[in-house]
Structure formats: structure tokens, C-alpha cells
Structure 1
Amino acid sequence: MTQTIMIVEDEEKLASLLGDYLKQSGFDTVWIANGTEVVPRVRERQPDLVLLDLMLPGRDGLDICKEIRTFSQLPIIMITARVEEIDRLLGLELGADDYICKPFSPREVVARVKTVLRRSVEQPTPSAGGLTLDPDRYSAQWQGHDLDLTVVEFKLLHFLYLNPGRIYSRTQLMDRIYSDQRIVSDRTIDSHIKKLRKKISAVAPDQELIHSIYGAGYKYEPPGG
């Protein structure tokens, strides 16, 4: 099946150029120029990857990225002419899979698209290493034993599980888990992680799946990883 790339870019000539190169590489493309249209179209069309410009009319690319991450883990590559380090880091914190600065070669963009898509396909399966996760039911099991997680505990485990080996700070985890932007203490995450570890340990005492990284945050390591 042909993969669809959503190009979110208000510069028509640039969007057309990217579209031509992507089509030559075998992709279908959808072009959107206004930021307010992106989230509804993502929900409707469910593209395989989004090329998301940072500066858009109607709505900022970082804000769009953050909302998409509240309901989907589809790959997102952010594109911008703003090279300030704070924007680069913030873009990745909000869930972007990659970041490309203008000016760029269209061939480079196509190569990045292929790399990110390949990486997303290679993510662990929902039942890797004895751990089975069902996002529709917020259900988690270890080798058939129910972990009996709360919704927040499941969201934490599921997000870390989908990004093995990557360290996330408490603030990053709060942004992912509490999509309604409620104000909570960063120690709230510590409490949820502690309870989550306790429940995992009850059925898998010889496994340490969630690791604390001093001064940085937490990461998930698959069994045997």
C-alpha cells in the first residue's frame, strides 16, 4: 500500500517541490497551507507521516504537534527557518520525530522521511518480551498476568514502551500524560512511576523495565535490553 505524506507548508512553491520529490519516491501526498486545518485532516485522513512547518498562518506548528500527540503517535518531522536552539529542543520535546532547518535539499527531506518511517515500523510489537499492552482497553499484562494499572499508569508505561531507551524528564512525561494541561507537581510522576514499578515487580520480580536516570528522568528498557 502506498504511504501518504501530509505536507503542512504555507509556501506553495516549496510544498509543490517537496510533493514532486516525494511522489517520485513512490509516496502519495496531501498539502495543507493553514495550521487550523491540520488536526482535523490528520484525524480524517490518518497519513503515514506529517512534514510540519513551524511558522504557519492560523496556528503554530509546535502547538499542532502537541495536540496530535494527545491522540496519535504518527511520525512527525518539523521543518523551520528558525534555528534557535530553544525551538529545536522544544519541537522534539513535544513529540517530533525529527527536525529539519531551512534551507534544505528536497532529497535530504525524502531521505529523512524514509528513515523515520522505517524506524516507526521497527518499533516493538505490543507483546514484546512478555509485556502485552492494549491501548483501547488501557490493559497491560506480563506473561498473562494482569498488572491492574490505572489509566495514568498505563499511559506512562505505554509511552515509555513505545520509545525504548529514550530518557524523558518529569516535565516531558507530564506533558504527555496530562493532555488537559492541568497543573501537577513533578513529584506526581515519581509517585506514579513508583506504583507502576511495584505492580510490575509483583508479577515479574526479576525484571526492571523502568529505569531512573539520576538528574534526568526515566526510560524503558525491554527485557534483556
Structure 2
Amino acid sequence: MYKILIVEDDLEMQKLLVDYLRQSGMEVMATDSPNTALEWIKSKGGFHLAVLDIMLPEMDGLELCQKMRKISDIPIIMSSARADISSKILGFERGADDYLAKSYEPIELVARINALLKRCSQNKSIKYGDLEIDVDRRKVNVEGYNVELTPAEFEILNLLIAHRGKPYSRESLMQAISSIAPDSSLRSIDTHIRNLRVKLGDDAKTPKYIQSIWGIGYKFCD
């Protein structure tokens, strides 16, 4: 069952979409608050896709999309009454995967969700040199051998490799990794990274996979 996040401040539209998606067999969580949506992604996780309206309180959907991209790689559909090409381009530049102009029928949204998730599911195996990650099955192979990772180690590795070359601070990793308790010490990130390197056969001094960035944190090697 797909778990969908909807961020829509038109409450009548929001209820219509929630009811229709649930009738289509999807689990749905909806809010009119961008900040609540960000908290849900950080704390609850497990979303397969998000539908974001552009005109929102607190921050617009474009800014929300950009912030979501820093902590999650789930597919994002932008929804807006503004159907001009510049709005669409801005949406894609901020990290959206699809753009749906209002007003649309809920059946079209369901079709877009199914099509987008089908495309994404075909690309859930990530390879980098001798390292391969099966995202759906949460399995990792190095040089053909299976490597057993803890949930936190897997989430850290998956996040870093999905955003290869982008440095993440300990604070950012702590917020993004749902398997780490919020009250944990920031140093627990160092412990998870150290254990992850050992399991991957990586060397902190001459890293193949995870590189320490002095004064910032960590990134996956370019």
C-alpha cells in the first residue's frame, strides 16, 4: 500500500483528494502546514510520494519542496492553479518530479501517482563501484558479498549515496535518520559512520565511499 503525503491548504480540496486516494487503496496523511509536513517526514517517514500545493501558509510549496529534498528523495508532485511555464520550471528546479495544474480531477492525480511510483520503483537499485544498494529490500552488497547493516547505518548510507557529493552535517543527519532517537548525542553519528566504514571495508584516510568533511560532517565520495 502506497503512503502518500498531501500538503494542501484548501481544506475542501484536501478532503476530496484524501477520500479519493483512500478509496483507491492508498494510505494518506494530509496537512495544510508545510512545517508539519517537514516534521512528519523527519519523524514518521515511510512516505512513498508527496503532493504539494504551491500556495501555502508559512512558506510556499516551492520552498517546501526544496527543504524536503534536503532530507528525503521521495517523488514529489507539485500542484498549482498557476499553469504557466515559468512556474513549472521553478517547480522542477526545486526538485519536483511532476507538475499538475489545477483544477484537475482526483482520478488524474491517482494516475500520475501510479505512473511516477512505477517509474521510480524500476530504479531502486543503486550501484557505485563495488557497492550495490537494493533500496526496497534494504540490502547492501560489497564485491558481491552481502553486508548486514543496522537500520540507522542503512539510512545513512542510502541518504549519502542518493545525494552523492553533498556534505551533510551531523545535525542534518540526525534530523533525517528516523532510526536514530532524537535525544541521541551528535557523536552517535560518528559511531554509526565508523561502524559503517568497517562493514564496507572503507578507510577514513583514503575513502572509497564515505568522506569526512572537516568542520562540516560527511559526504559520499564524488
Contact 1:70 1:179 in 2 (8 A): no
1:84 deviates by: 2.5
CA offsets 1:64-114 (integer angstroms, 9 cap, x no match): 111111121011111001122222101111111111000111100010011
**Relative to 1, partners in 2 of residues 1:131 and 1:68: Cα closer, same or farther, differing over 3 Å?**
farther
Contact 1:49 1:74 in 2 (8 A): yes
**Relative to 1, partners in 2 of residues 1:23 and 1:177: Cα closer, same or farther, differing over 3 Å?**
same
SS of match in other structure, 2:35 = helix
CA offsets 1:162-220 (integer angstroms, 9 cap, x no match): xxxxxxxxxxxxxx94789xxxxxxxxxxxxxxxxxxxxxxxxxxxxxxxxxxxxxxxx
SS of match in other structure, 2:123 = coil
The equivalent of 2:113 in structure 1 is 113
TM alignment of 1:161-172, pairs within 5 A: none
Contact 1:66 1:94 in 2 (8 A): yes
Q: In structure 1, what residue type is equivalent to 2:6? A: I
The equivalent of 1:6 in structure 2 is 5
The equivalent of 1:32 in structure 2 is 31
- Hey, what's the Cα distance between the residues in 1 that align with 2:5 and 2:23? 15
SS of match in other structure, 1:13 = helix
Contact 2:125 2:132 in 1 (8 A): no
Q: In structure 2, what residue type is equivalent to 1:86? A: S
- Hey, what's the Cα distance between the residues in 2 that align with 1:66 and 1:43? 15
Contact 2:78 2:100 in 1 (8 A): yes
1:133 deviates by: 5.4
SS of match in other structure, 1:41 = helix
SS of match in other structure, 2:73 = coil
Contact 2:42 2:71 in 1 (8 A): no
1:22 deviates by: 0.6
Contact 1:62 1:91 in 2 (8 A): yes
The equivalent of 2:14 in structure 1 is 15
The equivalent of 1:79 in structure 2 is 79
TM alignment of 1:54-133, pairs within 5 A: 54-127=54-127, 132=131
**Relative to 1, partners in 2 of residues 1:112 and 1:179: Cα closer, same or farther, differing over 3 Å?**
farther
CA offsets 1:126-157 (integer angstroms, 9 cap, x no match): 238x65257xxxxxx8889xxxxxxxxxx997
User: Alignment RMSD, CA only?
Assistant: 3.1
**Relative to 1, partners in 2 of residues 1:122 and 1:97: Cα closer, same or farther, differing over 3 Å?**
same
* TM-score computed with the length of structure 2 as normaliser: 0.59
1:41 deviates by: 1.3
Q: In structure 2, what residue type is equivalent to 1:6? A: L
Alignment length (residue pairs): 151
TM alignment of 1:174-185, pairs within 5 A: 177=166
1:37 deviates by: 1.6
**Relative to 1, partners in 2 of residues 1:158 and 1:3: Cα closer, same or farther, differing over 3 Å?**
closer
Contact 2:52 2:76 in 1 (8 A): yes
